[in-house]
Amino acid sequence: MRVGNGYDVHRLVTGRKLILGGVEIEFEKGLDGHSDADVLTHAIMDALLGAATLGDIGQHFPPSDAKYKNADSIELLKEVVSLLKTVGYTEIFNVDSTVIAEKPKVAPYINEMRKNISNAIGIEINQINIKATTTEKLGFTGREEGIAALAVCLISKS
């Protein structure tokens, strides 16, 4: 069994959609990034890659590569799962994650995010946990400058 953790952060900007866990959330700002900047899905991908000692998403989906411009991070997550399988990691037991944002409130979207992520990974929804928290107006997330996400996972070879 292997444990991995992931962390991602993106700046909030006007003129972009806000995508978290593959869900478009109504908000006046979105996350800036080369892909769709889905911090939650990015943190989960990094956790999975880390558990398998396969580096990070920047190595596999570099922002310098035009083919990842505005890429759907849920599709990239599917690629990560496929990569894990090619090196023998066929079981993903669970993913536990946290979205850190002052605004918007993400709780109403959590079940849809869990569905998207469980479908992309190929595991049951009850193996995906997503929490949301604020930083009590402290730091860049508290000032509503960006959103961060953390994730941990457990994987194994069969």
In order of their start, the domains of the chain are: 2-156 (3.30.1330.50)
Q: Tell me what the mean pLDDT of segment 114-128 comes to.
A: 98
pLDDT tens across 45-78, in order? 999 999 999 999 999 999 899 999 999 999 999 9
Distance CA 30, CA 15 (A): 7
pLDDT tens across 31-42, in order? 999 999 999 999
What values do phi and psi take at 116, rounded to 5?
Answer: -60, -45
Distance CA 80, CA 84 (A): 6
* pLDDT for 102 beyond 90: yes
Q: For residue 156, what is the DSSP state? A: E
pLDDT at 158 (0 to 100): 81
Q: Tell me what the mean pLDDT of segment 123-133 comes to.
A: 98
